[in-house]
Chains A and B, each alone.
Chain A
Amino acid sequence: MIFDYNVIWENLPLYLSGLLVTLKLLAVSLVIGLTVAIPLAFMRVSRRIVVNFPAWLYTYVIRGTPGLVQLFLIYYGLAQFEAVRESWLWPWLSNATFCACLAFAINTSAYTAEIIAGSLKATPHGEIEAAQAMGMSRALMYRRIVLPSALRRALPQYSNEVIMMLQTTSLASIVTLVDITGAARTVNSQFYLPFEAYVTAGIFYLALTFILVRLFKLAERRWLAYLAPRKH
């Protein structure tokens, strides 16, 4: 037999702790990313250039550069400046987990902002007219009608973004973190079994992707049921 899976079996705890790191990175960056993305999306649908332009520039630059470069700029790049090294932020900015979360959150916020902005623009006119007819104030209309409706309709595209983000978290292994990919790299460097090590990592990611797809299908059935084609 040319494959040796005993080593992988013995190192399963390492992969499982890597799985936890991956999930933690994913959850933290998605939560921060979404929180930043919502105000950005509102800026992106504004008709005023001074409001729209900064948000456009932000999403354009972030979406036009590789995540790897963004991560390196934050993790390696910022240390170049003495002001950063001496500031109170340094304990955080020299921490790989913090830098990875920050870079991933910035990355996903740009993509998510564009998704939500697209969904906001596609708000059916009748919903806004109905809100106005009910005498809602602008703030109330946004909070109760426009935002919930847009976020629901963004769900299918957002599920793609979450899966892309899961894949992006693998970059954390480059800045010394031991996520699933990091576990595979560790196993490879200790036992020199690259094929087995990376195939195992691939299986973990594949399983996670299937679970996420399934969860989003359930979420769509719950929150987008009113848009589903009629069954009878």
Chain B
Amino acid sequence: MLNGYGANIADGAWLTIQLALISMVLACGLGLAGAAFRLSPVRWLAWLGDLYSTVIRGIPDLVLILLIFYGGQDLVNRLAPMVGYDDYIDINPFAAGVFTLGFIFGAYLSETFRGAFLGIPKGQAEAGVAYGMRSTQVFFRILVPQMIRLAIPGFTNNWLVLTKATALISLVGLQDMMFKAKQAADATREPFTFYLAVAALYLIITSVSLLLLRLVEKRYSAGVKVADL
């Protein structure tokens, strides 16, 4: 299939999916931390959370990727001799991709999660406190499970944007499906064919995600009455 490049691109597609999934796990962790910071009563923590989400969301993904991948590598190598490490440090594109995408989408998710936390009735947390729970217990046992339902629409959106943003990591040398398509396009001089094939693969990934996340939403909305209009 595809002049013999089919298997090659399928390998790349698997890497794209891995990259997206692992980045999303990191992004969820950072997003949760960011949301907790921004909602914190401690003024400087809230300020720090706001700074993170504002700065990252105001800069294009491509610039952040180039900054973290090339700039980060350069910075590490400028700093390393100061602590007595003289070998050149090479950053792995997959690790850099996961870190960069996780860091970027953590900022977007912190906004989604913050909105979702604000959508939980205040009485819920108060009831938890009244039961004598510690604030971490209230957070993880009362707030997080309810927040998930409210966060699913925003989460879905962010997941789709993240999946599409993985294509940018090919520009710093990760051999994902976009990279493989470019290789095949250059070798065969049939760029349209290969970019179209990759476009179709992205469309399949986003379509399947939409279907799965709709099921998740149904699961988490069990027991919630929807106004029948």
A interface bracket (residues with beta carbon within 8 Å of B): 35 or more
- CB contacts under 8 Å to A, within B54-82, are 55, 57-64, 66-67, 70-75, 78-79
Q: Are the C-beta atoms of A205 and B67 separated by less than 8 Å?
A: no
Instruction: Say yes or no for B141: interface residue by CB 8 A criterion.
Output: no
Q: Are the C-beta atoms of B71 and A69 separated by less than 8 Å?
A: no
Instruction: Say yes or no for B165: interface residue by CB 8 A criterion.
Output: yes
CB-CB < 8 A to A199: which residues of B? 67, 71
- Given A67-B164, A202-B64, are A73 and B70 also a contact pair (CB < 8 Å)? no
Q: Are the C-beta atoms of B66 and A185 separated by less than 8 Å?
A: yes
Q: Are the C-beta atoms of B202 and A81 separated by less than 8 Å?
A: no
In whole angstroms, how far apart are the Cα atoms of A207 and B10 in the complex? 41
In whole angstroms, how far apart are the Cα atoms of A77 and B190 in the complex? 7
Instruction: Say yes or no for A36: interface residue by CB 8 A criterion.
Output: no
Q: Are the C-beta atoms of A65 and B202 separated by less than 8 Å?
A: yes
CB-CB < 8 A to A169: which residues of B? 60
Instruction: Say yes or no for B171: interface residue by CB 8 A criterion.
Output: yes
Smallest Cβ distance from B116 to chain A, in angstroms?
A: 18
Q: Are the C-beta atoms of A65 and B203 separated by less than 8 Å?
A: yes
Q: Are the C-beta atoms of B58 and A170 separated by less than 8 Å?
A: no
In whole angstroms, how far apart are the Cα atoms of A210 and B73 in the complex? 29
In whole angstroms, how far apart are the Cα atoms of A111 and B227 in the complex? 28
Instruction: Say yes or no for B168: interface residue by CB 8 A criterion.
Output: yes
- CB contacts under 8 Å to B, within A154-183, are 163, 166-171, 173-174, 181
Instruction: Say yes or no for A76: interface residue by CB 8 A criterion.
Output: yes
Proximity bits, A60-78, B CB within 8 Å = 1, else 0 = 0101111111101100111
CB-CB < 8 A to B182: which residues of A? 72
Q: Are the C-beta atoms of B67 and A170 separated by less than 8 Å?
A: no
Q: Are the C-beta atoms of B192 and A78 separated by less than 8 Å?
A: yes
Chain A interface main SS type? helix
Proximity bits, A196-212, B CB within 8 Å = 1, else 0 = 01110110011001100
Instruction: Say yes or no for B189: interface residue by CB 8 A criterion.
Output: yes
Contact of A167 among B61, B164, B202 (CB under 8 A): B61
- Given A76-B185, A77-B196, are A171 and B191 also a contact pair (CB < 8 Å)? no
Count the B residues whose beta carbon is within 8 Å of the partner chain — how many?
41
Smallest Cβ distance from A213 to chain B, in angstroms?
A: 9
- Given A66-B164, A77-B191, are A198 and B63 also a contact pair (CB < 8 Å)? yes
Q: Are the C-beta atoms of B206 and A69 separated by less than 8 Å?
A: no
Q: Are the C-beta atoms of B207 and A64 separated by less than 8 Å?
A: yes
Instruction: Say yes or no for B139: interface residue by CB 8 A criterion.
Output: no
- CB contacts under 8 Å to A, within B179-220, are 182, 185, 189-193, 195-196, 198-199, 202-203, 206-207
From B72, B73, B79, B199, name the one whose CB has the most chain A CB atoms within 10 angstroms: B199
Instruction: Say yes or no for A184: interface residue by CB 8 A criterion.
Output: yes
Q: Are the C-beta atoms of B63 and A181 separated by less than 8 Å?
A: yes
Instruction: Say yes or no for A188: interface residue by CB 8 A criterion.
Output: yes
Smallest Cβ distance from B111 to chain A, in angstroms?
A: 11
- Given A171-B62, A206-B59, are A194 and B67 also a contact pair (CB < 8 Å)? yes
In the complex, 27 of the A-B residue pairs with CB atoms within 8 angstroms, ordered by the A residue number, are A61-B203, A65-B164, A65-B206, A66-B164, A66-B202, A68-B168, A69-B199, A76-B185, A76-B191, A76-B192, A80-B190, A167-B60, A170-B61, A181-B66, A194-B70, A194-B73, A195-B70, A195-B72, A195-B74, A198-B63, A201-B67, A202-B67, A205-B58, A205-B59, A205-B60, A206-B55, A210-B58
Interface residues of A (CB under 8 A from B): 2, 61, 63-70, 72-73, 76-81, 163, 166-171, 173-174, 181, 184-185, 188, 192-195, 197-199, 201-202, 205-206, 209-210
